[in-house]
Amino acid sequence: MPPALIEAFAYVKKSAAIVNMTYGLDPKIGQAICQAADEVISGKLSDHFPLVVFQTGSGTQTNMNVNEVISNRAIEILGGEKGSKKPVHPNDHVNMSQPSNDTFPTAMHVAAVFQITRNLIPALESLIRAIGAKRVEFDSIIKIGRTHLQDATPLTLGQEFSGYEQQLINGLARGGTAVGTGLNTKSGFAEAIAKEITQQTGIPFETAPNKFEALASHDAIVETSGALNVLAVSAMKIANDIRFLGSGARCGLGQLSLPENEPGSSIMPGKVNPTQSYDCRNTGPDPSPQQPPRKLARYIRQDPAAKRAADKQARTLTVKAQPKRQTRFKTLTLAERLGPQTQEELLARTLEATATTPDPAESFCQNKTKLLR
C-alpha cells in the first residue's frame, strides 16, 4: 500500500483512540495505541505493511493489518507478549467503533489531502511563481502571434506567459479543496474524529454531511481525480508551447532560448534539447482506462454498502498515487529550471516582416468590397 495511505490510517486510529478515551476506553490502553500510531506515522514500522492494493471487500485486510500492527506494538509498550492480544486487542480496542466501510474511505480521503497539500500544491505554487516572474520579464517584448501556426496579430510575450500563469492558478483553485472524512457508530463520534484529525494534522477536515451518500459513492475522489487530470493537461500544454517556441534554433521558431541543462548531441554541437519540457509532458493526462471507471463505478454498484466498490475506488486512487508523486517532482523540476530567454532580435525581425500585413478586419473588408464589385 502507498505509504501515505498507511500514514493516514495511523492518524485515523490515533484520533479514534483519543476520542474513544472520552467514551470509556482505558486511558492506559488509549495512550499506548497513540504511541504505537505515532511510530507508524513516522515510518518506523513500515516493514510491517506488506499488503498490495488488490484486495477484496472494502479494504478490510489493510484495516486489520493496521489494527494488528498497532495492537502488537502497544502490547510491547505495555510490557505484554506480542501476539497475545492482551492487554490491547486489535478489534476491541484499536478498531473500536471503526468498521472497514468507514475507516478505509476516511484514510483514502486523508491520504489524498496529504499528497495534494504537502507535495502537489507547493510544487504548483513554485511553478506559478516562476512563470509569473517570466511574465513580468517578458512584458515589454512584442512578438507575432499565431493562429493555426500561421502569422497573426502581435502580442507581448508577457501576455502569452500570463495565459500559462492563469491556467495554473485555475488548476490550483480546482485542486486545493479539502475532502471530508468518514462515518460514525456513536452519536458525535464522526464529528469528534474529524476534529481530532484536524488537530493532529493541521489540515481542516469535516465529517460527511450525509453518511449514506458517503458510503455508497466517492464523488469527492472522482472530482479530485478530474481536477488533477485538468492540471496535468495544462502543464502538458505549457511544456509543449515552450518546446515549440524554442524550436530551432536556426530553422525553427527560435523565439525562446532554452537553458542548456544537458549536452544536446555528440554530432550536432550547439543543439539544445527541451529536456525539461519533455520531462513535464511525461506526467500529462492519465491515458489509462482507470479514468472512465472512476466516473462510472458509482453507477454500476448493486450492493448499497459498496463493499467491493469502495475498494475499487481506493485502488484507483492508490495506484495513481505514485504518478502523482512524479507530477509533483516534474512540476517542481520545471519550475526550478524554467529559464527560457528571448531572442529579441529574431522577434523584432518577424514582427517587422509581418508589419505590412493588413489587419485581418481590414483585409476582410477589402476582399468583401472586391466581391461586391
Active site members? 148, 265
Phi, psi at residue 244, to the nearest 5°?
-70, -45
Q: Is omega for the bond preceding 249 within 30 degrees of 0, making it cis?
A: yes
In the 8-state DSSP scheme, what is residue 89?
Answer: -
- E runs forming strands in the chain: 142-147, 150-156, 256-257, 341-342
Place of cell 542548456: 260
Distance CA 116, CA 319 (A): 15
Place of cell 495565459: 163
Beta carbons within 8 Å of 79's beta carbon, 6+ residues apart: none
Cβ contact 200:11 at 8 Å? yes
Closest CA to 103 of 209, 161, 185, 165: 185
Type of residue at 303: D
Cβ contact 233:284 at 8 Å? yes
Cβ contact 33:94 at 8 Å? yes
